[in-house]
Homo-oligomer: A and B are copies of this chain.
Amino acid sequence: MDKVLLIICDGLSDRPITELGGKTPLEAAKTPNLDRLVKRGLTGLMHVVDIGIRPGSDVAHLSLFGYDPNLYYSGRGPFEAVGIGMEIKPNDVALRGNFATVDSAFRIIDRRAGRIEHTFPLTRALNDMLIEDTKVYVSVGTGHRAAVILRGKNLNGRISDVDPHKEGVKVRSAYALVKTASAKKTAKIINQFVRRSYQILSAHPLNKKREKEGKLPGNIILLRGAGILPKLPTFLEKYSLKAACIAGGGLYKGIGRLLGMDTIEVPQATGKPDTNIKAKIEAALKTFKTHDFVFVHIKGADVLAEDGDFLGKKKFIEKIDAALSPLVKREDILIVITADHTTSSILKIHTADPVPLLMAGKNLHTDQVTLFGERSVASGKLGHIVGKHLMPIILDFLGRAPLMGA
């Protein structure tokens, strides 16, 4: 056993829901394959960052890959930018953004411009701008999303969001979160960029066409998540494992790339509930010909829970389970299945509840747990761990952990 398949089901776990008879979507779903893996594996609960800490998906992934987010996280922008294929350099400030609709007083009508898509002409119109001494690069994300990179002297990532995260209010001015000249300069450039984006976009032919068709124009770019990318040791450097990443969403590809993982493109992987999970698992199994460690990210459950759709989440979990059938008897691979965080379908937010963790391999301890659920795994042999323990345990199960002492 010298290969690892780590499947992160984003927002898999949940809280009990009255309409599901007091069960969570994971507990209510029929998951025969997960349960078979549990029977020949060992289980526990993982606090992905720490007990009581409610993580975003970016911070959660860093933590469970063993990269302390207190050292390595400085805003989501850089991860999104890398995820959509932008080249980022040391000291670049990166932000993520939405194409949105505002009125002439900068009041937000729609944060997603009617879920505008195919925004390449808009990003091209904004790309490669010079503000003071700083170059601004803009690149298209999925749907209404984009990423922005600022490249210049003395920039700082500690800047507030322009995006107020709600509609009916005015666009905010970015301001420095630390009292340094570099932060003040960066905030000023961001504010200038946002104003110029409105001037350019509101006159853009694509938006004129959308307005004629009765659609909302993407007439501004709302920025958030500013950060400077830290220097991250690669997965290979840290764990001596040749790793690959299979994901639909840009953030997860971005994290994979930043950790030096090879990105395996699976065209049917959409990062949405319609994704083809079977195709991702098949691609993962093929990838073991060349790689030691494959990270598969499955987004759907989180999206559905954030929409409050617990029935859809239950069905999506059953879809995940069906895709796992090729794994049930694979003893040559260490199979690790868990979540990056809990997403409550009632609260429609991430919560800090620990996530269930399942590890199945050859000649490992099993435990008495027979079902994969938030409550059932609480008596598993792994007990309660925190995210930073996951990779050391994986290395140890492979017989590849470093020895401390002699």
C-alpha spacing A378/B369, complex, angstroms: 12
Digitize A1-24: 1 where CB-to-B-CB distance is under 8 Å, 0 elsewhere.
Answer: 000000000000001111000101
Residues facing B in A318-351 (CB within 8 A) are 344, 346-347, 349-351
Given contacts A352-B392, A383-B383, contact A52 B401 (CB under 8 A): yes
Residues of B within 8 A of A353 (CB): 365, 396
Stretch at the interface among A54-62, A99-107, A116-124, A166-174: A54-62
Copies of this protein, total: 2
Digitize A72-99: 1 where CB-to-B-CB distance is under 8 Å, 0 elsewhere.
Answer: 0101100000000000000000000000
Residues of B within 8 A of A60 (CB): 405
Residues of B within 8 A of A53 (CB): 392, 401, 404
Digitize A193-204: 1 where CB-to-B-CB distance is under 8 Å, 0 elsewhere.
Answer: 000000000000
Q: Among A15, A225, A403, find the residue whose CB has the most chain B CB atoms closer than 10 A.
A: A403
Q: Among A367, A378, A393, find the residue whose CB has the most chain B CB atoms closer than 10 A.
A: A378
Would you list 26 pairs from A and B whose C-beta atoms are within 8 A, ordered by A residue? Answer: A15-B364, A16-B365, A22-B366, A45-B381, A49-B404, A51-B385, A51-B389, A54-B396, A54-B402, A56-B405, A57-B406, A58-B406, A76-B405, A225-B406, A344-B363, A344-B399, A349-B403, A351-B399, A352-B392, A352-B396, A352-B401, A365-B374, A365-B375, A366-B375, A367-B378, A383-B384
